[in-house]
Every structure is written in C-alpha cells, then in structure tokens.
C-alpha cells in the first residue's frame, strides 16, 4: 500500500456528508442525489448497487473528483472536494484515484502498454507498467491495440491503467456490465484479489445485486437516496455467486 496517505485516523479514506446533486436542465431542476452520507474505509471492497438511473454514476463521479456536489461535503483527509478548485480536483484525481469505466475508455490509437503509460506518465509513484499488465493477466498482449483485444481484455487494460497509477482509491463503474458471464466473473475475481493482495480501497458500482456478496460492505441506492448500508463480515468468493 502506498505510504503517502492523508492524515486520517480511524481508517476513513473518504467521508461523504449530506451530499446532494441537482442538475439544471433548462427550466427544470432534476434532483439526482439527496442526503447521501457514508464513509469509505481504507482497504475495504465496497459495492454500491441500485437500479438504472438511481444516481450511482453521479455519486461515483463526485467521489472521484470528476464532478462536484450541489450541497454537502466530501472530505478526503483535510481536503473538502466539494469546494476544491478544478486544478485541485485534477491533482486529487491524478494522485489518489483510479477509474475503471464501463466501456473501458481506452485510447484507440495506443497499444495496451501505451494506454497504461498515459496514466503512469503523470503520476508520482507509478507501478511498473509491464508488471501491472502481467498482474491483470495481459502479459502476452501488451503491444496490441484496443481494437485487437476482446472486451474482457480491454477491461483488464483499463484496470491496469487505473492500478498502475498506484492510487488510494479504485472506482469501478459497472466493471462487468459489458462483459459476458464468465468474463465478468473473472473480472470480479481480479478486483477481489487486488483488494486482498494490494490492500486497495475499491468501490464497485453496479445495478447487478448478485455481485453484492463479494463486498465487505454494500450500499443500496434508490432514487438518489441511500436505502441501506450493511456490513458483510464474510464476503463470498466470486466463484460462488451466480447471476
């Protein structure tokens, strides 16, 4: 685990307090998130489930510093992301967060390895690119372009890219959403392993409730509000779950 952490005791990485988000769509204001409060604990595997449109991506974006809440605070150590400047948010993303997107978002004109380089080039203490790619099982195909890789392989590149920056927090938006059952399961395996071996804090959001049992903690979102948070002292290995 990375040595440089924020000065938080009690193992809290991120503290979300009364966050709300409203989108202004011309005349109408759409309230997408309301009264969201919870902590993200250091090293946990957190799964957030909720139906489509419940505001999962919006919340993830706010937690990752891609967006700011309309009300409320998000504390990352001493820093309140809710009032941070765009430049501070960029630094936060650059140094502390790794994203894995549903559609991988690889740069088509770069090979797998180069796609990871794009991330490591701007981080302070990156992991070795080739080792990271091997860790996600892509040692053989590093010099392939995204169009030459399957969906599962592309997702692995995306995970390697997020990991190689060596961030505190890995945010995964529907990491299995675009994958078939088997590949999806492998992906979960990988994330669980990363959480166990590297001690990364990982947040997975999904509308697939079947995934929830692999987590240390599950947050259920419904219509922009937290419906339920429950601890899971005995997470199931991904092989044992089905959907």
Ligand X SMILES: Nc1ncnc2c1ncn2[C@@H]1O[C@H](COP(=O)(O)OP(=O)(O)OP(=O)(O)O)[C@@H](O)[C@H]1O
Judged by the rule CB under 6 A, the positions of this chain that interact with ligand X are: 23, 25, 30, 32, 50, 52-58, 207
Least spacing, CB of residue 57 vs Mg ion, in Å: 3
Sheet holding 12-25, edge to edge: 28-41, 12-25, 71-76, 79-80
Task: Mention every residue, 6+ apart, whose C-beta is less than 8 A from residue 29.
Answer: 22, 23
Location of structure tokens 């969906």: 151
> Pick from 79, 167, 85, 156: which is nearest to 122 by CA?
167
Which single residue brings its beta carbon nearest to Mg ion? 57
Please choose, from the candidates 98, 63, 78, 80, the residue with its C-alpha nearest in 3D space to the C-alpha of residue 8: 78
- Map the footprint of other proteins across residues 47-106, applying CB under 8 A: 58, 61, 64, 66-67, 86-87, 90-95, 97, 99, 101, 103, 105
Rounded to a whole number of angstroms, the minimum distance from the CB of residue 120 to Mg ion is 27
Answer for the pair 52, 208: CB distance below 8 angstroms, yes or no. no
Q: Return the closest-CA partner of residue 40 out of 91, 76, 83.
A: 76
* # of chain residues touching Mg ion (CB under 5 A): 1
58 sits near Mg ion (criterion: CB under 5 A): no
C-alpha closest to that of 40 among 19, 14, 11: 14
Residue 23 CB, shortest distance to ligand X, in Å, is: 4
Q: Which of ligand X, Mg ion, other proteins, none is residue 38 near (CB under 5 to 8 Å by kind)? A: none
- In the list 56, 141, 165, 217, the residue contacting other proteins (rule: CB under 8 A) is 165
Contacts with other proteins by CB under 8 A lie at 58, 61, 64, 66-67, 86-87, 90-95, 97, 99, 101, 103, 105, 107, 109-110, 114-115, 117-119, 121-123, 161, 165
């Amino acid at each position: 685990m990375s040595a440089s952490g924020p000065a938080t005791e009690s193992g809290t990485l991120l503290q979300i307090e009364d966050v709300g988000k409203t989108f202004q769509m011309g005349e109408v204001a759409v309230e997408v998130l309301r009264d969201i409060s919870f902590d993200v604990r250091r090293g946990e595997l957190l799964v957030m489930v909720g139906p489509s449109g419940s505001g999962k991506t919006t919340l993830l974006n706010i937690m990752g510093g891609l967006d700011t809440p309309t009300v409320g605070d998000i504390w990352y150590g001493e820093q309140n992301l809710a009032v941070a400047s765009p430049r501070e948010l960029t630094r936060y993303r650059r140094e502390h967060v790794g994203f894995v997107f549903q559609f991988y978002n690889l740069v088509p004109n770069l090979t797998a390895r180069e796609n990871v380089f794009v991330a490591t080039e701007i981080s302070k203490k990156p992991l070795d690119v080739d080792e990271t790619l091997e860790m996600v099982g892509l040692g053989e195909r590093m010099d392939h372009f995204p169009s030459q890789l399957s969906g599962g392989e592309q997702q692995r590149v995306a995970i390697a890219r997020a990991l190689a920056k060596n961030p505190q927090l890995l945010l995964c938006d529907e990491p299995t959403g675009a994958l078939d059952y088997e590949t999806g399961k492998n992906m979960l395996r990988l994330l669980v392993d990363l959480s166990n071996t590297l001690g990364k804090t990982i947040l997975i959001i999904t509308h697939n409730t079947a995934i929830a049992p692999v987590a240390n903690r599950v947050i259920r979102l419904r219509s922009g509000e937290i419906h339920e948070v429950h601890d899971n002292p005995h997470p199931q290995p991904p092989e044992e779950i089905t959907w």
